[in-house]
Structure 1
Amino acid sequence: MKLVGALVAVFRETACLTQRELADRACLHQETIASIEQGRRPLKPDLARLLDSILETKRALSTAVENMPEVDLIPAWAEEYMDFEREAIALSWFENQVLPGLLQTENYARAVFRTDVPALSQDEIEQRVAARVERQEILQRKIPPTISFIISEATVRDRLGGKNVHIEALRHLRACAELPGIALQIMPLGRETHAGLSGPFILLETPDHQHIAYAENQRGSQLITDPDEVSILAQKYAMLRTQALNPEETKGLLDLRLGDP
């Protein structure tokens, strides 16, 4: 990221442009250009193509981004997904190990990041918690997105952070189940069939009705735009909805867990 950022700075200076001038041409904030040049913010593929055009760099930046090491691609894909998430009109989210980020309390998120291996510094933990909580603002939009969540019962039973954090997370989950536009379903333990054994994923619809998907694993993440691949995940999600408890049954299970946490 630092190398790519340094290339942006060199090409910008060669073109005799200030950061503000380049930002204006790209319809960005000056701080965005500054963050990219300092290696604090990843250069995403679409912006790399735009800057190549503005700076007349013959795909140099696009090629650099396409060939970044996997460890640097992870935050780039994640940030690109979060750009889509902020504007989404619909989300379908399946999780089997941890509560979805949009449904986590601050204390639960902190407990999640404290389990990272290798361990994160306290500053890194607090930065990630703040970013996760900020993302939840989309639930309070004037016109919120339509969101379906399917979560494994195991995530409801796990006590990340201890008893108090667990109870707070359950109460927050129960409150979120009443928000307009949200359908929360729990996949109970002991099912004989399960369409999501390959792991968690998210389906998203953009304001211009583009359908994309996003998936993470232990060492990476992937933004999926191929219609065939998105269709396969949509079929999986549809099957999961038939296998999980319906929203009313889910509320009942959460009430039961809160009565005996």
Structure 2
Amino acid sequence: MSQEEQAVGLRSEADEPGWEVDPDDEWGVAVITTVGRQLKLRREAAGMRAGEFAKAVGYSEDMVYKIEGGKRIPRQEYLIAADELLNADGLIAATWEDVKKVRYPKRVRELAKLEAQAVEIGVYECNSVHGLLQTPEHARAVIGAAQPPYSPDDVERMVAARLARQSVFDRDPAPSIHFVLEEGALRRPIGGTIVWRHQLERLLEVGRLHNVVLQVMPMDCDTHSGLDGRIELLKFADGTAVGRADGAFNGRPTHDPRRLRILELRYGTIRAQALSPRESLAFIEQLLGET
């Protein structure tokens, strides 16, 4: 690929939705403003005009001004190129660890932090495939179906956040993760046939991981303790835990031991009523064959 083609590619990537700064995210605004200011100071110290710098890194001059002004989240490629061009010895490139988190809504960052620390994760999901299990295309279809609709920028921001949480599967040591999904949700071909086939394949892939147990709640189980909605339980290495359920305690997260025992009882009952892990994977394979 020529230098000109690379530049065009970078510009088009930079203009994609999902890279705007959320003005209501104070921490995110502070991070992007600080990074932008440092980029501008280093560029000016190197004696480079914005247009000259833009051409060198393969972005438009307007995009450089937006990034330096804290109005646009820089991509990792931009930070790496700027680091090399300004001889920053990795200091600019290293800001990506904080910059990448700014794309994700605040509440999702908080959830991802908890999931990244948990040694056990248990989830009962009633209406859809859980976010930790969704493919990019499926996530985009689910989020894009909301009413009133999200803006394209918000959709991409939320999809990126959902996918970033899936790094929990790559942790070492691996956490113990358990999912129970409703059969009805697995029969709804969200996004169309091809997208849904990929989603079912993803479920089989994750369900076969050594640290993951995936179960399906069959529709012929006429009643169970999850009918009030989703249940989530996270346990940590220090013995603490947090849980929430749509139908308990106003849906708010709880650390109270008494309330956690109630959620654990409900979740344990749900697991007992669901298909076994072996039966569940066989059921998903059957759905895939029918799709």
Both structures adopt the same fold (TM-score exceeding 0.5): yes
User: Compared with structure 1, are the counterparts of its residues 252 and 119 closer, same or farther at alpha carbon in structure 2 (3 Å cutoff)?
Assistant: same
Aligned to 1:196: 226
Residue deviations 1:213-243, cap 9 Å, x none? 03458xx962211111111110001000110
Letter in 1 for 2:219: L
Structure 2: 5+ residue stretches without partners: 1-21, 35-69, 71-104
Pick which of 207-216 and 138-147 moved more.
Answer: 207-216
Assess if the C-alpha contact under 8 Å between 2:228 and 2:246 holds in 1. Answer: no
Map 1:108-257; keep pairs closer than 5 Å: 108-215=138-245, 222-257=252-287
Secondary structure in 1 matching 2:213 = strand
Residue deviations 1:172-217, cap 9 Å, x none? 1011111111000000112133110110011000121211103458
Letter in 2 for 1:128: M
Secondary structure in 2 matching 1:205 = strand
Letter in 1 for 2:271: R
User: Compared with structure 1, are the counterparts of its residues 144 and 3 closer, same or farther at alpha carbon in structure 2 (3 Å cutoff)?
Assistant: closer
Structure 1 distance, partners of 2:206, 2:185, is 16
Aligned to 1:53: none
Structure 1 distance, partners of 2:25, 2:218, is 46
Assess if the C-alpha contact under 8 Å between 1:78 and 1:221 holds in 2. Answer: no
Structure 1 distance, partners of 2:175, 2:235, is 9
Assess if the C-alpha contact under 8 Å between 1:81 and 1:214 holds in 2. Answer: no
Structure 1: 5+ residue stretches without partners: 10-18, 20-37, 39-74
User: Deviation of residue 4 (structure 1)?
Assistant: 10
User: Deviation of residue 142 (structure 1)?
Assistant: 2.1
User: Deviation of residue 86 (structure 1)?
Assistant: 1.2
TM normalised by structure 2 equals: 0.62
Aligned to 1:48: none
Structure 1 distance, partners of 2:106, 2:254, is 14
TM normalised by structure 1 equals: 0.69
Number of matched residues? 196
Structure 2 distance, partners of 1:110, 1:3, is 23
Aligned to 2:135: 105
Structure 1 distance, partners of 2:194, 2:234, is 33
Assess if the C-alpha contact under 8 Å between 1:183 and 1:247 holds in 2. Answer: yes
Structure 2 distance, partners of 1:138, 1:79, is 13
Aligned to 1:85: 115
User: Deviation of residue 259 (structure 1)?
Assistant: 1.0
RMSD across aligned positions (CA): 2.7
Aligned to 2:43: none
Structure 1 distance, partners of 2:225, 2:280, is 18
Structure 2 distance, partners of 1:186, 1:149, is 8
User: Compared with structure 1, are the counterparts of its residues 157 and 231 closer, same or farther at alpha carbon in structure 2 (3 Å cutoff)?
Assistant: same
